[in-house]
Structure 1
């Protein structure tokens, strides 16, 4: 990324494709479960007269025109039948306690020039977000949003903190270029779009469910409690659609799938 890192052990996302995208958990803390390519199971739509659950997607200024809309499109097509609204500066809907009170899930998407600059727009909302999650809300942070689930700066929603994966010990990613990486998702190899995302240093003994690890064993995708709420974070981009790969000339050996994204979303909103 242009400019300096926010701190020595934390690297924010840098510009990639059409937008700015944004230790190790001990073996005892990893909770392994079985997986595969599940067949899509359609959930029942909301009962007649009932509104679909609301998801708020941050779409404020962060140098990324595509990141929020990409997640919003994914959510609108999700089997959970979500309603989606944008929040943040410039959207006409501020990120406040009153706005959050109407939602089931808040999404902090990828993208951003640097954490400090984006945090200037989010700092005033930080206490409202923390209180809302603590009271039972759900936070989903993707890449840059995963960094912001950590601390200094960030919402401080994780039992631990974040660290840049590219160039870290045992990393298969030497630099910040857009690429496709292999992860172990429930113990099975899967491939995901990646651009300078975080690894999650979760405290030993934390009640975290690690859905996927990088090839060096570090947590890549995790869901953890925060008070009565839940926090889902991903270093790679499960929301990446075919256009992301096409624009960078990349290929996903598994094909471009949505099952990992939907599993992460479901794990984040489930109680």
Structure 2
């Protein structure tokens, strides 16, 4: 690769994104996030980064992206992070320099945990962190099983900006909720869990960039539901999340 060359094809008119695919990402999670981003209003051109892909995560590969997304994975963020901690500095520098990070489920936990030894990628300001929704008093589910939960969604952009759609069922598996320190300026809460009113989707400024986090799985297609015999009483193909959450990393 010559200095100044591009790792990916020219952008043309479409924004460019990459999704991590490799150890600690769950089966089909990366592909589902990539599909969601391609079909989002932004219509991203999506690549994969990881140790077994054509290109791994590095300052050079990240520098070509409008958005970098980390998909869902296992249930032990502490153990899983040890396998990918070598990416921390590159991801931090990318966001601080103006990049956008989109964390889905495990990717949201990796932004920052509640304990001093759980800074993980360190993508949230001091006093802000992700913790498990199932542990919250009154949570709709206290199980780690795959299920669906009710959420409210407030559009952050587009013709419906500011409007809230209530009581949307979303695919959920031990996802996070987000604590945003009161001193953080410019943070947006786009989604909330109906039962607890805890934030389920947020955009938080970080350095010159931004961090979009979501606790449920807007990327879940019909195959996810079929695998666990889950029925969504609403049409998932036109759910708020599948239409709008592609913007969570663009607002």
Q: 1:198-249 CA deviation, whole Å, 9 max, x = no partner?
A: 1111111423211111121111111111111111111110111111112211
* Conservation of the 8 A alpha-carbon contact between 2:17 and 2:46: yes
**Residue 203 of structure 1 is aligned with which of 181, 195, 200?**
181
2:228 is the counterpart of 1:251: no
2:210 is paired with a residue whose SS is strand
For residue 212 of structure 1, what is the aligned residue in structure 2? 191
Q: What is the aligned-residue RMSD (CA, Å)? A: 2.0
Decide which moves more: 49-58 or 172-181.
49-58
| Aligned residue number for residue 23 of structure 1 | none
Of 157, 162, 166 in structure 1, the residue corresponding to residue 130 of structure 2 is 162
Give the TM-score taking structure 2 as reference length: 0.82
Q: Summarize the alignment of residues 72-151 of structure 1 with structure 2, pairs less than 5 Å apart.
A: 72-151=34-113
TM, length-normalised to structure 1? 0.76
Shift of 1:118: 2.7
Q: Structure 1: how far apart are the matches of 2:240 and 2:182?
A: 29
1:235 to 2:201 alignment: no
The alpha-carbon deviation at position 73 of structure 1 amounts to: 1.8
> Would you say 1:191 and 2:153 are equivalent positions?
no
**Counterpart Cα distance in 1 of 2:70 and 2:121:** 11
- Flag structure 2 segments of 5+ consecutive residues without an equivalent: 1-9, 155-163
Distance 2:124 2:225 in 1: 30
Q: Given that residues 75 and 82 in structure 1 are in contact (C-alpha distance below 8 angstroms), is that contact kept between their aligned partners in structure 2?
A: yes
* 1:175-200 residue CA offsets vs partner (Å, 9 max, x unmatched): 11111100122242211000000111
Stretches of structure 1 that go unaligned for 5 or more consecutive residues are 1-47
Q: Write the distance in 2 (CA, Å) between the matches of 1:165 and 1:95.
A: 29
User: In structure 1, what is the equivalent of residue 157 of structure 2?
Assistant: none
- Against the structure 1 CA distance between its residues 140 and 49, is the aligned structure 2 distance closer, same or farther, given a 3 Å change threshold? closer
User: Quick one: higher RCO (CA 8 Å, sep 6+), 1 or 2?
Assistant: 1
Aligned to 1:6: none
1:219 and 1:79 map into 2 onto residues whose CA distance is 23
How far the C-alpha of 1:268 sits from its partner, in A, is: 1.6
**Alignment match, 2:160:** none
Deviations 1:98-118 (A, max 9, x none): 000000100000112522343
Secondary structure of the 1:145 match is helix
- Please identify runs of 4+ aligned residues in structure 1 that moved more than 3 A: none
Partner residue in 1 for 2:245: 264
Give aligned pairs, total. 223
| Residue aligning to 2:6 | none
